[in-house]
Structure 1
Amino acid sequence: MEMQLFAFFKKNLKNKVSFFFQKAFSVKTSLSARYLSNGLVQCSWTLNKVDKAKLFKKGVFSLAIRIFDITAGTSKENSTCIMKEIEVNRKLSKCFIQPPISNGTMLIEIGYRALRSNWEKFSNYELKLGEREIIILSPDEPWFDLPFKESQENLHEKMYRISSRKNLGGSEKLHSLEELNLK
C-alpha cells in the first residue's frame, strides 16, 4: 500500500513539474521593433516566465535595451561603434526610443545587467532603417598636405643643425669613432 501511495505521489509530482516547465518554456522571449514616422523606434517584447524570474533576482535593477549600428556588417574597415544602452522599467512590455542613427541597420537587444556582472541578453532584433552610402577610403589617400609635411621636416632638420653645432657626445661621438676606424 505504501509503495502504491509513493508511486502515486511521485507520478503526480512529476506531472505537475512537467506541466510547469512546459508552460514556462512554451512562451518564448521575443523582441520586435518598428521605425515610426515621427523618427522614434517602437520596441515591443514578451518575456517567458524564466526570464521574468531572472529580472526580479536580487541585484538586477532594471530591464535594458542596447542598440548597435551594424550597417557595415563584420567589416572592421567600415564598421561603426555606436552603442546606446537604455534602462527600461521591468514591468513594461514596450517603449519608444530615439535611435542613435537615422539610416542603416540597427541591432536591438533586450536583457539586463546585474550588479558587477556581464550583460545578459534575452532576445535581439535587426531593424533596417534604410540604405546608407558606405564610403571606402583608399589606404593611399593622403590625410594631410604633403608640402606642410616637407616644411615640417625641413624645419626639424634646421633646428637639429642649429642645436648640434657643438658636439655634445652620444651618437655624434660614435659616428666619429666609426669614421676613424674605417680609415
Structure 2
Amino acid sequence: MGGRPLTKPRPGLEPGPPTTPSAPQKVRGQARDAVALTLAALLLATQATAQIIPTGTPAADIVLTQGIADWRIFVTCSALDYQTNWNVVDELYHDITAASAILKANNVPQEAIAAFAAAADPEALSPPPDTPFADVQELCLAHPDWSDRWLDRAFTFLERDLAKAFP
C-alpha cells in the first residue's frame, strides 16, 4: 500500500450550510478563570468553619497554609478512589499529629495548635457535600499532576517542612 493515507484530509470547513453553535464558544482563559473561581469557592467554603491562628512565626504560618492547601487538593481529588483516599486521609492524620508536636515543641499557643488541627481535618478540607461534581473535577483538572506529587511527596509535607520554619 506504499504507506500513503487512503484519503487526504480536507482543509477548512465541511461543505454545506453554515452551522450555528448550540453552546457558547469558549474564550481563551475562560476555563482558567472558572478553575480559579471554583478553587476560591472551595477554599472559602471551608474557611468559614476553620481558620489558622497565627503561630507567632510568619514562616511557620506560610508552611501551614501551603500544607493545608496541598492536602485539600489530595483529599478532594483522591475521593473517587477509596484506597487512595484512605491512604491520603491516613497520611494526613499522621501529618497533623507530627505538625502539632512540632508546634508544641516550639511553644506555639495551644489555641493556635487546635485551630490548625481543625483547619487541617479531612472534613474541613473536603468540599461540602452539595458541591457539584463538575466543580470538583475542575479543581482536579487544574492540578493534573496531583497524584504524581502525592506519590513523590512533592508537596508541603508538614512533618518534613514545618520544623525548618522555626529558628
* Shorter-normalised TM range: under 0.3
TM-score (norm 1): 0.25
* Higher RCO (Cα < 8 Å, 6 or more apart): 2
- Structure of larger gyration radius: 1
Higher strand share: 1
TM-score (norm 2): 0.27
